[in-house]
Structure formats: structure tokens, C-alpha cells
């Protein structure tokens, strides 16, 4: 017995002392990475790296092991190692940026799926992309996304919307965490109030998505996905200013409420109060703004690990633009022209996974939007409330991945215009179903359909089909086709109907627009022997519209005529994105789009207003490791657009020139948790007034007090008005801000 006990002690002590230590450093692009997760696979041995990126993994037993290193936003690395004795082993990791081709996406199919596996092509953009050209809001940040263009609609108040593949803003559905809370009034006025500090990623689907998301998702959709409180930094701050006097500050912080929940709070504040008139027309070049947005998101911990989250946002904005001498005492009068908009809105959204064996999710949102605005001496007072509830059932049966859902949307809208004689209340119930079929390892088919009922337009049915062919791991082909529909809220969408002096004519009861779309997408990944990566993605599309409602500026220069098109409209084109990552530290994101957007009425084809033939975007980044310096050169280029002039005598150009906005930024990141950045925007100092005698028509007479009309209501040419014009700020296709410098600071505590 003593002998057995003696040998047992020797064996235990041998095992105890025959343990190795694995140590090393975790970096990303050569910079130390704090709080990276280091795990010894199939064991409980896990630690995080310290402030210098170093780690020590102790008590590793002899044998074959896998070391896994992960970090949010970076690609996970795994290395195999064999431990034979107690020797200390050195093992370093350099994590790379997670390529967006491998991201998990939800927008295309309402399910979490790898982007490579999705039969619907989805583009993903993370905060690192938008930091290459820092902006005060997501609206401006999208200017460097290929095929997406933020469009300003007014030279005075600078409100705008987002075009996808040449289609007007109302055809684009904007979601927050999958909820359709940015629509109608907020599409025009509230889109700029989403805090960048809470952004996890943005997913973009180009082409109709009405079979899943209903009205408005005709041209495409943008899903703004906010951070999960569990993964967010403890505290983050990002503030910058520029030599025009703009100030933007983003704050984010999280906390835990015991073991019950985690909460994330984000605050955005923006202020610009420095009137500038560089084009000497006595009107502000940039709208003055004072804006605050507060967002809070809660994630509740449940015993069954099922999802329960809620979020809320409050937004307030005071913006005005107009004659340089305007003050608030002139608001609503006809002495000094100004456009003043007070916007107040709050939002609530959430998701609750039912506590049953089946995977069923209830999502809900509610928004209340109140707008008090005046355009010169014309008041526009509007209220909008939107409630939305949706229940989905996700069910897999053999090779079929089903999604069934029902939704109910409540819409309330009221304003003081003649078009709204009484408040408009609408309940829109919907049913939808989707079947994603794995035919085999390489072929996947998706079938879907949606049914909506609207009291004004009756029954609306929208089917879709998607097919994905996985040629191999590096070559994927997708084909999508489907239909879309859009129900029009005229005055919430067409800013030109509220400003200027054109008369608004609605010739008939407007019917919902319908679209029929087909697109083909090809994705190729190239990995070189020396570790470089190239991703190429090309999409060709064709969309045919019936019942199109396109504002007619041409028939009468003094009117904007709204009616269903007596004919059809078509948008078609081809788009290419190229992502390149080199070991040298050089990264390139390049995009190009060519499109043809037109309408055909009574056999006559015309090009759509304010739509470019081609666009190009780029983001070129290079890291100087020795200097801890990142250099980002970003920009875009747009081809000529047809512009809304006011008749044959108008001296302004009928087409815009080819124009480009280019920016450069330098970021210093040697100091722990801190990034210092500075740069120049609009390097070419381009503004739309170049080559034009003026931008705003009759800026010297904004109330048309000296305009004379003939017996038919047409403007007459006079010595004071030689071009027979009325006041019109709608001739706008690009920002009026010229070259400017900026400086900012980011702090992140993880």
C-alpha cells in the first residue's frame, strides 16, 4: 500500500509540474490590442490581453491544443500548438479587420445568416468605414457608399433624402434594428438625428424588398443596426469641429442593472450657428442647426437565453436657413425670408422572443413626430404617428427553412395643407411567408410572398424569388426577382411642394405605384499567395414601374403637377464594388455605378430629374505603423443630372456638370484608448454655383412682390425680372459648403 501511495504521489506531482505557459502579444495591424479574448479550446482556460496587448496562458497540460483569439470587429484567429514539456512557449497573433463578405446579416431574409450564405445580396458597412470621413450624421455618412446618394432638396433648409440606384428618396425604406420607424415626415427631417456612437453596422439591400417589408421598400432599404449593450464599450466619446463653426459630439456609455439587464445610452449633440454666404446671394449657404438626440437600449437577461430588448429615442432639432439678416422675430412674416423648422419626435422599439420551444419573435415600434415649420410666410404644421407590430415564426423542416409572419401597421397623419382636409388614419394588416430551400450543397432557392390590405388601395400582393449558386467557396452567383409597391404621402415626401412659389396641382386620385424587378449578382473572392485579399462584386438590375408618381416640373414652369404616369418608368444599370486589402497596410474600397433612369409617357421618353448617369466612390487607406498614423483618402464623383429650371429664359444650366467631393484625413493612434484625427473636406473646393449666374432664383425678391403675371398666370419678363422667374430654391444637386478643415478626438474605454 505504501508503494502504491508513493507512486501515486510521484504521478500527481509530475502532472502538476508538467504544465507549460503560453505567452505572447495580440496586435491588430501592428498596434497592441487590449481586451482581446484568448481561449484554450475545449477547456475553461481563458483570459484577456492587457493594456500592452500581452497575455500569459498558464497551466497548459501536455498535448495538442488550439489557441483561439477573438475581438469584436476583427477576424478570429486559431493556431494549433503541441505542448511536450514545461517550456515557456511564445505565440503572437495579429488580428485582421473582419472582411464584410463574411458578416452575419439579417436584412435580406429577416434571419441571421452569413452574408455568403444569403440568397439575397446584402452590403455591410461598419463604423470603421464611416470613420474614414467623419460626419455629423448617418445621412451625410452614406455619401461614400456606391450606388447610394444623399440628395439635398432645398438650398435654404437643406433637408434631403437618400437615393438608391437613381430612385428618389421615398422609394428607400430606412429601418432601425429592423423596425420601419424612419418614414414619411422623418425621412425628410429626422434622418440626421441618429447617433453615430451607437452604430454597430449598416446593411443595405438594393432593389425591391416589399415582400418582406411592405410599402416604401421599392428602390431598396437601409437597416441601421445599433450596438448590443453586452458588446459595447463601457464609455466612448467622439467630438469634432471645423473652421465653419460646426460642432458635433457623440457620447456612449453602458452599465449593468445587477444580473437583470444591461443598458446602453447614446447622446448626440450638433450645433452650427455661424451664417456664411460665400456665393453672395444674401442667403445662408448652410442651414443653421441646433440638434440633440438621446438613445437608450436595454437588453434583458432571461434564463432561457431568449431575446428581449427595448430601445427608445428622443430627438429635437431647431433649424433655419434664409436671408442673412433673418431673426426669429421674422418667423412666418413676409419682411425677411427664412425657412424655420422645429422638429420633435420620440421613438420606442423592441423585440421579444416568445418563451416557447418554437422560435417565434414579436417585434414592435411606435413613433410620434411633431413638426412646426414655416417657409417664408407659409406655415406647415404636421403630426405623424406610426405604430408597428410584427410576429414571425422561424421553422426548419429538413431542407426547408420557413419564415411565417404577420404584421399590423397604424398610420396617423395630419397637417394644415389643403391636401389634408381631415386627419388620415390607416390600419394596414399584412401576412407574409418565405421558404428558403437548400436544394443541395451548391444550390439554394428562396420563395416568398406578402399580402397587404389598405383601405384606400385594397388588396396588394407582392411575390419574390431568389436563387443562389455557390460555384465554389470563392465564386457565388445570385439571381433575384420580385415586385414592390408604394403608397404615397405626397406632402411628407415632396419638399418642393412646400417651398418656392410653384403651384401644386394634384390632377387625380393617386394610385399606389407598382414595380417589377430582376437583378443578377456575382461575387468573387481572390486570396493571393502572399496573403493579400481582393473581393469583387457586380450587380446588374432592371426595374419597371407602373402608376409612377413623378413630379412634373416641365409642363408648366409655375406648377408642380402630380398624377399617375400615363405610361411607365424604368431604371436599369450595372454596379461594381472592389475591396482590396494588402499586407503592406494599404486598403482600397472602390465602387462604380452606371444607370439609366427614365420615364415614358404618351410614347415620349425623358430622363428622370436629378438622376446621374454614373457615380464612383472610393476609400483608400494606408497605415504608417512606425508613426502610428492612418491616412484616409475618400471621395465620390457624379455624372451630369437633369435639373429643374424655370422655363426657356432661365439662364441656369439644364444639366449639372460632372462633379466630385474629395476628402483626406490623418488619424494618430499611439495614445492608449485615444484617437486624434484631422483633415480637409472638399479638397477641390467644389460648389454648385460654379458656372451658374445664381443658384436660388429671385433671391432678391423671395416673396415675389415684384413679379408680374399675364392673364393666363404665366410670369412676364420685365426689366426687374428679365428671365421671367419666381423665387425657387429647388435648383440643388450638391452641398454649398466649400473646402474646410476639421479636427476631432475619440476616446474609448472598453
User: pLDDT-derived band of residue 642, with 50, 70 and 90 as boundaries?
Assistant: very high
pLDDT at 454 over 70: yes
Q: Higher confidence at residue 327 or residue 176?
A: 327
CATH number at residue 61: 2.60.40.10
Q: Looking at residue 11, what is its pLDDT?
A: 44
Q: Looking at residue 210, what is its pLDDT?
A: 66
Residues 671 and 739 in one domain: yes
CATH number at residue 146: 2.170.130.10
Closest C-alpha to 311, from 177, 137, 112 = 177
Residues 136 and 40 in one domain: no
Residues 478 and 434 in one domain: yes
State the pairing for strand pair 629-638/604-607.
unpaired
Dihedral Cα 733, 632, 172, 342, nearest 10 deg: -70
Q: Higher confidence at residue 138 or residue 294?
A: 294
Residues 583 and 547 sit within 8 Å (Cβ to Cβ): no
pLDDT at 486 over 80: no
Q: Higher confidence at residue 37 or residue 586?
A: 586
What share of the chain has pLDDT > 90, as a percent? 48
The answer to the question of residue 62 being in a domain is yes
The answer to the question of residue 6 being in a domain is no
State the pairing for strand pair 93-95/20-28.
parallel
What would the mean pLDDT of 518-534 be, rounded to a whole number?
Answer: 88
Residues 166 and 158 sit within 8 Å (Cβ to Cβ): no
What would the mean pLDDT of 481-498 be, rounded to a whole number?
Answer: 65
Q: Mean pLDDT across the chain, nearest whole number?
A: 86
Residues 230 and 219 in one domain: no
CA distance 138 to 250: 12
Residues 283 and 324 sit within 8 Å (Cβ to Cβ): yes
Number of domains present in the structure of the chain:
3
What would the mean pLDDT of 568-573 be, rounded to a whole number?
Answer: 92
Q: Looking at residue 557, what is its pLDDT?
A: 64
pLDDT tens for 689-742 read 888 999 999 999 999 999 999 888 789 999 999 999 999 888 988 889 999 999
User: Which domain-ending residue is among 155, 190, 224?
Assistant: 224
User: pLDDT-derived band of residue 89, with 50, 70 and 90 as boundaries?
Assistant: confident
What would the mean pLDDT of 92-114 be, rounded to a whole number?
Answer: 71
- Enclosing H/E stretch for 6: helix 2-17
Residues 252 and 183 in one domain: no
Q: Looking at residue 583, what is its pLDDT?
A: 79
The answer to the question of residue 149 being in a domain is yes
User: pLDDT-derived band of residue 563, with 50, 70 and 90 as boundaries?
Assistant: confident
Q: Looking at residue 242, what is its pLDDT?
A: 97
Q: Looking at residue 312, what is its pLDDT?
A: 93
- C-alpha dist (Å) from residue 281 to 273, 693, 717, 739: 19, 10, 21, 19
pLDDT tens for 390-403 read 999 999 999 999 99
Q: Looking at residue 139, what is its pLDDT?
A: 84
E-strand stretches of 567-658: 567-581, 586-601, 604-607, 614-624, 629-638
pLDDT tens for 289-321 read 999 999 999 999 888 888 999 999 999 999 999
Closest C-alpha to 288, from 236, 340, 335 = 340
pLDDT at 72 over 90: no
Residues 588 and 447 in one domain: yes
Residues 410 and 491 in one domain: yes
Q: Looking at residue 562, what is its pLDDT?
A: 74
What would the mean pLDDT of 584-594 be, rounded to a whole number?
Answer: 93
User: Which domain-ending residue is among 207, 224, 241?
Assistant: 224
Residue with cell 462584386: 537
Q: Would you call 282 helix, strand, or coil by DSSP?
A: coil
Residues 355 and 212 in one domain: no
CATH number at residue 696: 2.40.170.20
Termini Cα distance of the chain? 56
What share of the chain has pLDDT > 70, as a percent? 89
The answer to the question of residue 464 being in a domain is yes
Lowest mean pLDDT of 124-133, 139-148, 454-463, 618-627, name the range: 454-463
State the pairing for strand pair 247-257/674-681.
unpaired
Q: Looking at residue 351, what is its pLDDT?
A: 94
Q: Looking at residue 403, what is its pLDDT?
A: 94
Q: Looking at residue 13, what is its pLDDT?
A: 47
Q: Looking at residue 15, what is its pLDDT?
A: 45
Q: Looking at residue 654, what is its pLDDT?
A: 92
DSSP state letters, 648-687: TT--S-SBPPPEEEEEEEEEE--STTEEEEEEEE-TT---
Lowest mean pLDDT of 12-16, 311-315, 407-411, name the range: 12-16
Q: Looking at residue 66, what is its pLDDT?
A: 87
- Which domain, by its residues, includes 725? 225-749
Q: HEC string of 168-185?
A: CHHHEEEEECCEEEECCH
The answer to the question of residue 22 being in a domain is yes
Residues 522 and 537 sit within 8 Å (Cβ to Cβ): yes
Q: Looking at residue 251, what is its pLDDT?
A: 93
Residues 733 and 584 in one domain: yes
Q: Looking at residue 73, what is its pLDDT?
A: 56
- C-alpha dist (Å) from residue 722 to 650, 698, 701: 9, 11, 13
Sorted by sequence, the CB contacts under 8 Å of residue 584 that are 6+ apart come out as none
The answer to the question of residue 514 being in a domain is yes
The answer to the question of residue 3 being in a domain is no
Residue with cell 454648385: 688
Residues 596 and 658 in one domain: yes
The answer to the question of residue 428 being in a domain is yes
CA distance 219 to 213: 12
CA distance 523 to 115: 11
Q: Looking at residue 449, what is its pLDDT?
A: 92
Neighbours of 447 (CB within 10 A): 15
Closest C-alpha to 616, from 598, 639, 632 = 639
pLDDT tens for 210-264 read 667 776 677 788 888 888 887 788 899 999 999 999 999 999 999 988 888 999 9
What would the mean pLDDT of 103-111 be, rounded to a whole number?
Answer: 71
The C-alpha cell of 583 is what? 499586407
Residues 71 and 104 in one domain: no
Residues 107 and 200 sit within 8 Å (Cβ to Cβ): no
Q: Looking at residue 76, what is its pLDDT?
A: 78
pTM of the model: 0.84
Residues 515 and 499 in one domain: yes
pLDDT at 502 over 60: no
pLDDT at 6 over 80: no
Q: Looking at residue 646, what is its pLDDT?
A: 87
User: Which domain-ending residue is among 170, 203, 224?
Assistant: 224
User: pLDDT-derived band of residue 16, with 50, 70 and 90 as boundaries?
Assistant: very low
Q: Would you call 188 helix, strand, or coil by DSSP?
A: helix
Closest C-alpha to 304, from 363, 256, 360 = 360
What would the mean pLDDT of 186-190 be, rounded to a whole number?
Answer: 64
Amino acid at each position: 500500500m505504501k508503494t502504491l501511495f508513493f507512486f501515486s504521489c510521484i504521478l500527481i506531482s509530475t502532472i502538476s509540474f508538467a504544465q507549460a505557459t503560453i505567452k505572447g502579444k495580440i496586435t491588430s495591424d501592428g498596434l497592441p490590442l487590449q481586451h482581446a479574448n484568448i481561449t484554450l479550446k475545449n477547456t475553461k482556460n481563458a483570459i484577456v490581453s492587457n493594456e500592452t496587448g500581452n497575455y500569459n496562458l498558464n497551466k497548459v497540460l501536455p498535448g495538442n491544443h488550439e489557441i483561439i483569439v477573438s475581438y469584436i470587429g476583427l477576424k478570429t484567429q486559431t493556431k494549433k500548438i503541441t505542448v511536450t514539456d514545461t517550456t515557456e512557449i511564445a505565440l503572437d497573433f495579429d488580428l485582421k479587420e473582419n472582411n464584410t463578405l463574411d458578416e452575419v446579416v439579417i436584412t435580406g431574409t429577416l434571419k441571421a445568416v452569413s452574408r455568403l450564405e444569403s440568397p439575397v445580396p446584402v452590403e455591410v458597412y461598419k463604423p470603421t468605414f464611416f470613420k474614414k470621413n467623419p460626419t455629423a450624421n448617418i445621412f451625410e455618412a452614406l455619401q461614400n457608399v456606391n450606388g447610394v446618394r444623399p440628395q439635398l432638396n432645398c438650398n435654404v433648409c437643406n433637408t434631403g433624402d437618400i437615393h438608391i440606384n437613381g430612385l428618389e428618396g421615398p422609394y428607400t425604406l430606412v429601418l432601425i434594428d429592423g423596425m420601419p420607424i424612419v418614414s414619411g415626415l422623418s425621412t425628410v427631417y429626422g434622418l440626421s438625428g441618429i447617433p453615430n456612437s451607437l452604430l454597430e453596422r449598416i446593411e443595405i439591400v438594393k432593389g425591391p424588398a416589399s415582400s418582406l417589408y411592405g410599402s416604401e421598400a421599392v428602390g431598396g432599404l437601409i437597416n441601421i443596426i445599433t450596438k448590443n449593450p453586452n458588446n459595447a464599450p463601457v464609455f466612448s466619446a467622439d467630438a469634432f469641429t471645423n473652421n465653419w463653426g460646426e460642432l458635433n459630439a457623440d457620447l456612449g456609455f453602458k452599465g449593468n442593472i445587477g444580473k437583470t439587464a444591461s443598458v446602453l445610452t447614446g447622446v448626440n449633440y450638433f450645433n452650427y450657428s455661424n451664417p456664411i454666404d460665400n456665393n453672395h446671394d444674401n442667403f445662408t449657404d448652410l442651414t443653421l442647426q441646433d440638434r440633440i438626440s438621446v438613445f437608450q437600449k436595454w437588453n434583458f437577461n432571461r434564463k432561457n437565453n431568449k431575446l428581449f430588448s427595448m430601445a427608445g429615442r428622443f430627438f429635437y432639432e431647431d433649424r433655419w436657413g434664409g436671408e442673412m439678416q433673418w431673426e426669429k422675430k421674422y418667423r412666418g412674416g413676409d419682411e425677411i425670408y427664412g425657412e424655420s423648422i422645429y422638429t420633435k419626435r420620440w421613438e420606442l422599439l423592441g423585440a421579444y422572443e416568445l418563451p416557447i420551444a418554437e422560435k417565434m419573435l414579436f417585434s414592435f415600434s411606435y413613433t410620434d413626430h411633431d413638426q412646426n415649420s414655416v417657409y417664408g410666410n407659409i406655415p406647415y404644421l404636421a403630426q405623424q404617428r406610426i405604430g408597428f407590430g410584427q410576429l414571425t415564426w422561424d421553422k426548419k423542416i429538413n431542407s426547408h427553412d420557413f419564415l411565417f409572419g404577420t404584421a399590423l401597421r397604424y398610420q396617423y397623419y395630419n397637417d394644415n395643407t389643403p391636401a389634408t382636409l381631415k386627419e388620415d388614419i390607416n390600419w394596414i394588416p399584412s401576412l407574409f411567408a418565405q421558404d428558403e430551400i437548400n436544394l443541395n450543397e451548391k444550390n439554394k432557392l428562396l420563395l416568398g410572398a406578402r399580402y397587404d390590405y389598405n383601405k384606400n388601395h385594397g388588396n396588394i400582393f407582392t411575390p419574390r424569388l431568389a436563387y443562389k449558386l455557390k460555384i465554389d467557396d470563392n465564386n457565388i452567383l445570385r439571381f433575384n426577382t420580385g415586385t414592390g409597391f408604394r403608397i404615397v404621402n405626397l406632402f411628407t415626401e415632396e419638399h418642393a411642394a412646400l417651398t418656392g412659389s410653384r403651384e401644386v396641382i394634384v390632377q387625380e386620385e393617386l394610385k399606389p405605384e407598382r414595380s417589377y424587378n430582376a437583378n443578377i449578382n456575382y461575387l468573387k473572392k481572390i486570396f493571393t499567395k502572399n496573403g493579400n485579399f481582393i473581393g469583387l462584386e457586380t450587380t446588374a438590375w432592371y426595374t419597371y414601374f407602373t402608376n409612377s408618381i413623378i413630379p412634373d416640373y416641365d409642363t408648366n414652369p409655375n406648377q408642380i403637377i402630380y398624377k399617375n404616369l400615363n405610361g411607365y418608368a424604368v431604371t436599369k444599370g450595372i454596379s461594381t464594388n472592389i475591396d482590396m486589402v494588402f499586407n503592406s497596410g494599404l486598403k482600397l474600397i472602390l465602387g462604380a455605378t452606371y444607370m439609366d433612369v427614365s420615364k415614358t409617357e404618351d410614347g415620349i421618353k425623358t430622363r428622370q430629374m436629378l438622376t446621374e448617369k454614373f457615380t464612383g466612390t472610393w476609400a483608400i487607406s494606408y497605415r504608417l505603423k512606425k508613426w502610428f498614423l492612418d491616412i484616409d483618402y475618400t471621395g465620390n464623383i457624379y455624372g451630369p443630372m437633369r435639373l429643374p429650371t424655370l422655363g426657356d429664359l432661365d439662364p441656369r444650366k439644364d444639366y449639372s456638370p460632372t462633379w466630385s467631393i474629395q476628402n483626406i484625413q490623418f488619424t494618430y493612434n499611439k495614445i492608449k484608448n485615444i484617437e486624434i484625427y484631422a483633415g480637409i473636406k472638399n479638397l477641390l473646393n467644389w460648389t454648385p454655383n460654379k458656372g451658374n449666374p445664381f443658384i436660388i432664383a429671385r433671391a432678391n425678391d423671395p416673396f415675389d412682390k415684384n413679379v408680374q403675371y399675364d392673364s393666363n398666370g404665366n410670369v412676364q419678363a420685365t426689366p426687374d425680372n428679365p428671365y421671367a422667374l419666381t423665387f425657387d430654391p429647388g435648383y440643388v444637386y450638391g452641398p454649398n459648403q466649400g473646402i474646410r478643415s476639421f479636427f476631432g478626438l475619440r476616446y474609448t474605454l472598453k
